[in-house]
Structure 1
Amino acid sequence: MSEHSANPSAATATGRSRAVKAVIPAAGLATRFLPATKAVPKELLPVVDRPVLQYIVEEATQAGIGDVLLITGRGKTSMVDHFDRRPDLEARLESKGDAERLAAVRRPSELAEIYTCRQPEQLGLGHAVGYAESHVGDQPFAVLLGDEFVKPSEPLLPAMLELQARTGGIVLAFFEVDPAETKRYGIASVEAAEPELTDIGEVVKVTGMVEKPKPEDAPSNLAVLGRYVLPGRIFDAIRRTEPGSGGEIQLTDAMELLRTEGVPVHAIVYRGTRYDTGMPLGYLQTVVQLACEREDLGAEFRKWLAEFVNNGDETVTEAILNGMREASGGPNT
């Protein structure tokens, strides 16, 4: 039994159903983390005591999604195992009276219904999402990339689901990047959204998208965050999309194809805290930030960190953490 509360039959005032399924593409080789990821999926690397993937599934369930499809690859079955029950381990913890760890071990299996699909070759994000068609059908669904998540107290996905249910089109999430970094992201050109949508949040209408442009060619500094809410017609667009950047089938290209055919594309500009674990530096920053915020070990860890970086001066540690928060797009709290 999962803990989500969404009703798949519920519809908004527009008569459109809200997305209740999520797809997490997680078949990549994670070469930036080798040799650690030779045997352990990057998505299972721990952030203190929970893997990155669990944070992402928790983000989905917090938004009312209770059906999650993992697009996996060779050697990644352990991702599914993480969300399974472990009766032997649970029995051992119960016999020791360790209720706290017992609850933590059981929690992943209670989050959502977890399904899996194998992507035999990694030929781009669009290619990976295309494998979800038999599971999703023609209904809207969310896509959550497997190497970033947002702060639970600053949610993003609920507003995206609401926006997609109102428009019936494509909904993206953007965050601002340094103009020199546009070559790392999908970048959009935008204009003001319809007035009736602005109550949802900082909503913009997307007028164009380009994958990883050079800084001099970028239409803006609004980068696509790894969250999408898509209509079921995206699958036909993926089939009609030719290989693009890097010889891969890009989801950005499929979405742009639908946009040119009249499908509305909107986005929410996210101003909250985003954790990016896709690169070693970002992963380490995420571990440090979340460890410092933990009630059980944060104070002691911050004290050690202060001693490590500047002989016990905690003001230096706080300045470092503030800089890391700014880099992740979050407030200095």
Structure 2
Amino acid sequence: MKKVKKAIIPAAGLGTRFLPATKAMPKEMLPIVNKPTIQYIVEEAVESGIEDIIIVTGKGKRAIEDHFDHAFELEINLVEKGKLKLLEEVRRPSSVDIHYIRQKEPKGLGHAVWCARRFIGDEPFAVLLGDDIVTGDTPCLKQLINQYEMLQCSVIGVQPVSDQETNRYGIIDPIGKDGRLYQVNNFVEKPAPGMAPSNLAIMGRYVLTPEIFNYLSLQEQGAGGEIQLTDAIQKLNQYQNVYAYHFDGIRYDVGEKLGYILTTLDFAIRNGELRIPLLKALEEILSRESMQKVIG
């Protein structure tokens, strides 16, 4: 039985929702408190047992490579100043074996995954999207890998969303359930409002068999005129069972502005150093807002 040891992290998107901040900085490098979003994703992969990671980048993403490389001058400076704890934090991203490949054209998530096909070869692999950060006792990806090892089939991470949000996600059409595990009839990419077969949404974590590349290689356009990973998963499901797993954990949406702000606040509140001053500052802001409404 081949283990899941490789992971793909697509990071070639233009980040238009965060313009102008992402004009010169990759959206994956936007920080949550003091750590870029992509580092949370990489750390989840490593904690799940992944040994090799390939990040699919695009034009203007060099900052990602620099972040996961050694910064010798900075490290020497921290050693000289005795800031050893901070040195450990700085070195942590560069301790992972990471490879890079460019998606030369923005053709969609399915195409980005297909670009890494030679890196994956004939092994099962994981895909982690950077718009979702998940926290929990057991890493989200590890939960999916555990299911894969029992089933020897592709497993997709899902969680419920409100009926009003189903048109934003890939949605599963379940036909059977065993605890948190679902057998799936169809995978539907961004169904029209009111047309979703369920409220169980695909949340950016996948464990896939290499046969998925047979369908991604067709380069068929789906929703938004892009090559959709969900469409290839649906085709794979017709020949080889693809399961969905309702993973345990708190999922944070950092792919849009409000979700990003709320994630930053939540992580900051859980930071022992920032919690008290932040709560005090938020109380002052709310008080000031209330006063302005009364005056207005």
- Among 151, 154, 171, the residue aligned to 1:170: 154
Among the aligned pairs, what percent are the same residue? 46
Q: Which amino acid aligns with 2:242?
A: V
Given the superposition, is the C-alpha separation of residues 120 and 206 from structure 1 closer, same or farther in structure 2, using an over 3 Å criterion?
A: same
CA distance in 2, matches of 1:312, 1:79: 38
Q: What is the CA distance between 1:295 and its match in structure 2?
A: 1.3
For the pair 1:272 / 2:249, whether they are aligned, the reply is: yes
- Among 119, 134, 148, the residue aligned to 1:135: 119
- Among 284, 289, 307, the residue aligned to 2:266: 289
The residue aligned with 1:317 is: none
> Do 1:174 and 1:270's aligned partners in 2 also have CA atoms closer than 8 Å?
yes
Q: Which amino acid aligns with 1:190?
A: P
Q: Which amino acid aligns with 1:258?
A: L
The residue aligned with 1:183 is: 167
> Do 1:67 and 1:114's aligned partners in 2 also have CA atoms closer than 8 Å?
yes
> Do 2:173 and 2:184's aligned partners in 1 also have CA atoms closer than 8 Å?
yes
The residue aligned with 1:159 is: 143
Point out where structure 1 has 5 or more consecutive residues left out of the alignment. Answer: 1-15, 314-333
The residue aligned with 2:108 is: 124
SS in 2 for 1:138: coil
RMSD, aligned α-carbons: 1.6
CA distance in 2, matches of 1:105, 1:143: 25
> Do 1:306 and 1:312's aligned partners in 2 also have CA atoms closer than 8 Å?
no
Q: Which amino acid aligns with 1:243?
A: Q
SS in 2 for 1:36: coil
> Do 2:136 and 2:249's aligned partners in 1 also have CA atoms closer than 8 Å?
no
SS in 2 for 1:296: coil
For the pair 1:33 / 2:6, whether they are aligned, the reply is: no
> Do 2:184 and 2:242's aligned partners in 1 also have CA atoms closer than 8 Å?
yes
SS in 2 for 1:207: strand
Q: Which amino acid aligns with 2:209?
A: P
For the pair 1:308 / 2:285, whether they are aligned, the reply is: yes
SS in 1 for 2:234: helix
> Do 2:162 and 2:199's aligned partners in 1 also have CA atoms closer than 8 Å?
yes
Point out where structure 2 has 5 or more consecutive residues left out of the alignment. Answer: 291-296
SS in 2 for 1:122: coil
> TM-score if structure 1 supplies the norm length?
0.84
Q: What is the CA distance between 1:160 and its match in structure 2?
A: 0.4
Q: What is the CA distance between 1:18 and its match in structure 2?
A: 2.1
1:47-58 correspondence runs (5 A): 47-58=32-43
- Among 62, 68, 71, the residue aligned to 1:83: 68
> Do 1:26 and 1:73's aligned partners in 2 also have CA atoms closer than 8 Å?
yes
For the pair 1:299 / 2:276, whether they are aligned, the reply is: yes
The residue aligned with 2:181 is: 203
CA distance in 2, matches of 1:75, 1:62: 28
SS in 1 for 2:187: strand
The residue aligned with 2:229 is: 251
Q: Which amino acid aligns with 1:65?
A: I
Deviations 1:204-223 (A, max 9, x none): 11111111012321100111
Q: What is the CA distance between 1:312 and its match in structure 2?
A: 12
Deviations 1:147-201 (A, max 9, x none): 21101435221120121122222210111111111110001111324x6xx5xxx
SS in 1 for 2:156: strand
Q: Which amino acid aligns with 2:19?
A: L
Q: Larger deviation: 285-294 or 161-170?
A: 161-170
Q: What is the CA distance between 1:241 and its match in structure 2?
A: 4.8
The residue aligned with 1:93 is: 78
CA distance in 2, matches of 1:102, 1:270: 34
CA distance in 2, matches of 1:75, 1:226: 23
Q: What is the CA distance between 1:287 and its match in structure 2?
A: 0.4
SS in 1 for 2:22: helix
CA distance in 2, matches of 1:86, 1:167: 42
CA distance in 1, matches of 2:289, 2:87: 36
> TM-score if structure 2 supplies the norm length?
0.94
- Among 212, 215, 218, the residue aligned to 2:196: 218
Q: Larger deviation: 114-123 or 168-177?
A: 168-177
Q: What is the CA distance between 1:91 and its match in structure 2?
A: 0.5
Name the count of aligned residue pairs.
290
